[in-house]
């Protein structure tokens, strides 16, 4: 008999280890590394599924070992590369092994059993597709008004009335409604039973796939593009960075690299940072290659994911386009991974399994013998540092494809505007520039990184601020729905007309978000059409694709939005970009706030002047002399990098060290604080025992900046070190120790986190 080393499918860190089981003779041909089996586990010998990691010879005394009960039939077997990927994320990013293994399977895992004709118990996997549903108002009299419909609903049924009001305008996806209203599924079914609503299955792929396209030939390459392709083929490095200004033709280089890989019968993965960018990427890739491509992201159903999974695994599809989750596809003969806009923080997974897409892509590429291409106009500091030091292949595209100059940028000091009596969110310079652009029938993009109507509500008599009951944050007023919303837990509350603290009716609404700004713009420019793009306005089916199409066709004059408008959109008639408040990200309490500010300004500025008309950018700020602002104004990435990397080196921030964030959350604040402190003590002792000479900074246990979110209290430990391996080992040991097994707090580890909060 052989011994199978297996991981039990239980997402518990104290079970995140190998267990030994005997392989019965009749199963020896089926039990292989990567296969899914069923084993008896625990004192009660409960049947549970497990994943085989390896096989080995039995020890001299194996009489106490339990035997595998059966193999799960028709379950995808993880190959060598996928198993190694699971181990990589377990060791480097502190993911649970089975968390990653399950992520490789497209959909929820349901193990079922039955007895065959010989009475032998057999196991198989059942696939239940979590379908997407679209809710709409039932067939109604065309003369019926919304008021008449609402009159048939109880006046105190607030949620029902709000849902009917929303659906009156257009159908809405169930996922959008469940994100907005707690426990809404019962309410929806109740409205359906009463005849108010109906629901339909929604094919999410239809939202993304533009259908058959005429295959287009490749345009003529510039000398700089051609040089990159030649250097890429000769280069010995596995990872390559293409640093190209906005509009320089990076995408065309990616497509040529993919074409070369496809000719070698290799598979290609093209990653984008946002789901909103997949339609235009799909369109361009399909138009170039004229073959079926897989589209992988969080909004496709499990059935669609499974269908594409099979086609990728059999190489029926050799091109995959998607967001972060596409990196866990079942690649065969992988040749190329393209990560466009590699600087975007959406490439870092903040949910289980936690991982950094770039480092994971590099590991997967190493296992497959493939190459990784990173592209950006504003590369992350760490990426640029490695490229400049020769660890990555380094390629530049310093000029735009059409020969146009980069847009001229002007910084406006909003302190001077205030001193001159202008309290508007638009400086006089930006207002005048907008009038001129509209007069010339040109389009404008305005960037304001704050959504909602008013940012907060407070009492002018006693100073009371309306906060979320579940989080330690202020609630934002949304005018369209006339409600207050918490942007952390999504809880809603009615508008406050009277102060709950002192009874005063002097409630003041303050701060400006995109919703209020849209109303202000419509008053300033009554003849212009203003289109808003933020997570509130883009919730409905096809909203993003429709908005991009409308703006491209000139149906709107001004596009106002949050970070969504900074992405890689290409609008030829946009000649003016306005950054309304550049300081919002600049003053965020994080060591990367300057980098993030520079990237956002540079990216949104790059939307101007991409056609044949000259572009202009107006940057409004209260800190006009900050180096992130001045270098963004000059489109000077190199100058910004030199300043920022010197700051990082002086303070030993990445890339000169690694940050390890250990987060704790729970219902009892005192208990969370106590367990955070105890973990800190255990970790310090473990590190000292491992190597007393290690140099590191372990900051004391601290409250998070927002200590309570969704009624969970949050504390953290932050470690800054250059001795990554030693700390990885120490954290693994403490995580699985007897002491932490008694902890009630939820604990997670994040390596080089996006935000320190």
Binding-site residues for Zn(2+)? 459, 462, 468, 471, 486, 489, 499, 502
| Structure-token pair, residue 672 | 């969370």
Could you tell me if 624 and 413 are in contact, meaning their C-beta atoms sit under 8 angstroms apart? Answer: yes
Residues forming beta bridges with residue 287, ordered by sequence position = none
For β-strands 334-340 and 319-322, DSSP reports them as unpaired
What lies within 8 Å, CB to CB, of 632 at 6+ separation is 409, 597, 598, 601, 602, 605, 619, 640
Pair 585, 448: CB distance under 8 Å = no
- Enter the DSSP assignment of 467: B
- Using DSSP's 3-state secondary structure scheme, residue 199 falls into strand
Q: Which residue from 97, 51, 58 is spatially nearest to 78, judged by alpha carbons?
A: 51
**Preceding amide of 584 cis, omega within 30:** no
- Please state, in angstroms and rounded to a whole number, the distance separating the CA atoms of residues 547 and 513: 19
- Whole-angstrom Cα distance, residue 58 to residue 77? 23
- 3-class secondary-structure state, position 574: strand
Q: Is 284 helix (H, G, I), strand (E, B) or coil?
A: helix
The token pair that represents 738 in the structure block: 């007897």
Q: How far apart are CA 417 and CA 433, in angstroms?
A: 16
Q: Which of 637, 535, 631, 547 has its CA nearest to residue 246?
A: 637
Q: CA-CA distance, 463 to 444, in Å (whole number)?
A: 38
Angstrom distance (rounded) from CA 442 to CA 435: 10
d(CA 446, CA 560): 5
Decide the pairing of beta strands 393-397 and 267-271: unpaired
> How far, in Å, CA of 459 to CA of 498, rounded?
8
| Pairing of the two strands 371-376 and 239-244 | parallel
Pick left, alpha or beta for residue 94 (phi over 0 → left; psi -120 to 50 → alpha; otherwise beta): left
C-alpha distances in Å from residue 397, one per residue of 177, 377, 400 = 44, 9, 8
* CA dihedral (526, 529, 535, 537) positive or negative: positive
CA angle 105, 109, 113 (to 5 degrees): 130
Long-range contacts of 475-482 (CB under 8 A, 24+ apart): 476/451, 476/452, 476/513, 477/452, 477/453, 477/509, 478/452, 478/453, 478/515, 478/536, 479/453, 479/454, 479/515, 479/516, 479/519, 480/453, 480/515, 480/536, 481/162
Return binding residues.
Answer: 459, 462, 468, 471, 486, 489, 499, 502
């Amino acid at each position: 008999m052989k011994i199978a080393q297996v991981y039990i499918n239980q997402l518990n860190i104290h079970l995140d280890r190998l267990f030994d089981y005997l392989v019965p003779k009749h199963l020896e041909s089926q039990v292989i590394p990567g296969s899914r089996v069923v084993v008896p586990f625990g004192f009660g010998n409960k049947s549970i599924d497990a994943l085989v990691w390896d096989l080995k010879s039995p020890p001299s005394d194996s009489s106490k070992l339990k035997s595998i009960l059966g193999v799960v039939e028709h379950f995808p077997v993880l190959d060598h590369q996928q198993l190694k990927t699971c181990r990589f994320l377990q060791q480097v990013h502190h993911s649970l092994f089975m968390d990653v293994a399950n992520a490789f399977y497209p959909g929820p895992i349901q193990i079922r059993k039955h007895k065959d004709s010989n009475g032998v118990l057999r196991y198989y996997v059942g696939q239940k597709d979590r379908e997407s549903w679209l809710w709409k108002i039932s067939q109604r009299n065309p003369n019926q008004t919304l008021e008449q419909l609402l009159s048939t609903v109880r006046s105190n049924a607030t949620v029902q009335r709000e849902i009917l009001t929303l659906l009156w305008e257009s159908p809405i996806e169930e996922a959008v409604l469940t994100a907005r209203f707690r426990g809404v599924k019962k309410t929806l079914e109740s409205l359906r039973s009463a005849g108010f609503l109906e629901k339909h299955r929604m094919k999410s792929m239809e939202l993304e796939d533009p259908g058959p396209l005429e295959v287009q030939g490749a345009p003529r390459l510039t000398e700089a593009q051609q040089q990159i392709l030649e250097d890429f083929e000769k280069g010995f490095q596995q990872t390559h960075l293409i640093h190209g200004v906005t509009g320089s033709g990076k995408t065309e280089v990616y497509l040529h690299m993919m074409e070369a890989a496809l000719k070698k019968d290799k598979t290609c993965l093209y990653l984008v940072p946002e789901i909103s960018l997949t339609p235009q990427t799909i369109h361009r890739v399909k138009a170039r290659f004229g073959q079926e491509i897989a589209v992988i992201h969080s909004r496709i159903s499990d059935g669609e994911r499974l269908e594409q999974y099979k086609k990728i695994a059999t190489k029926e599809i050799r091109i995959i386009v998607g967001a972060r989750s596409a990196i866990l596809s079942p690649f065969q003969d992988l040749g190329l991974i393209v990560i466009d806009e590699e600087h975007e923080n959406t490439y870092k997974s903040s949910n289980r399994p936690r991982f950094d897409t770039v480092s994971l892509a590099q590991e997967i590429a190493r296992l497959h013998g493939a190459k990784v291409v990173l592209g950006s106009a504003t590369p992350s500091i760490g990426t640029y540092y490695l490229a400049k030091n020769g660890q990555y292949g380094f390629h530049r595209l310093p000029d735009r494809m059409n020969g146009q100059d980069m847009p001229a940028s002007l910084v406006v000091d909003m302190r001077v505007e205030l001193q001159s009596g202008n309290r508007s969110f638009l400086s006089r310079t930006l207002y005048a520039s907008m009038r001129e652009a509209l007069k010339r029938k040109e389009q404008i993009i305005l960037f304001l990184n704050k959504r909602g109507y008013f940012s907060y509500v407070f009492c002018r008599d006693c100073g009371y601020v309306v906060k979320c009951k579940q989080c330690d944050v202020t609630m934002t007023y949304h005018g369209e729905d006339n409600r207050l919303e918490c942007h952390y837990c999504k809880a809603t509350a009615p508008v406050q007309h009277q102060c709950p603290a002192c009874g005063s009716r002097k409630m003041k609404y303050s701060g400006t978000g995109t919703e209020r700004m849209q109303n202000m713009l419509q008053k300033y420019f009554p003849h212009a059409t203003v289109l808003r793009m933020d997570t509130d306005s883009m919730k409905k089916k096809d909203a993003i694709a429709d908005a991009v199409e409308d703006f491209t066709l000139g149906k709107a004059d001004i596009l106002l939005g949050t970070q969504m408008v900074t992405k890689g959109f290409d609008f030829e008639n946009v000649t003016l970009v306005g950054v309304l408040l550049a300081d919002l990200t600049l003053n965020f309490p994080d060591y990367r706030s300057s980098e993030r500010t520079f990237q956002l300004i540079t990216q949104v500025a790059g939307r101007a002047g991409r056609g044949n008309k000259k572009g202009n950018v107006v940057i409004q700020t209260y800190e006009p002399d900050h180096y992130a602002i001045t270098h963004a104004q000059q489109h000077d990435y190199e100058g910004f990098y030199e300043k920022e990397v010197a700051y990082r080196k002086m303070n030993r921030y990445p890339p000169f060290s690694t940050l390890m964030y250990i987060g704790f959350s729970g219902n009892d604040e005192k208990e969370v604080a106590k367990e955070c402190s105890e973990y800190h003590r255990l970790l310090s002792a473990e590190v000292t025992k491992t190597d007393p000479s290690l140099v590191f900074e372990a900051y004391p246990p601290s409250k998070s900046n927002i200590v309570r979110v969704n009624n969970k209290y949050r504390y953290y430990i932050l470690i800054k070190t250059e001795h990554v391996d030693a700390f990885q080992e120490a954290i693994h040991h403490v995580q699985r120790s007897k002491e932490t097994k008694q902890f009630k707090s939820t604990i997670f580890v994040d390596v080089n986190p996006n935000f320190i909060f």
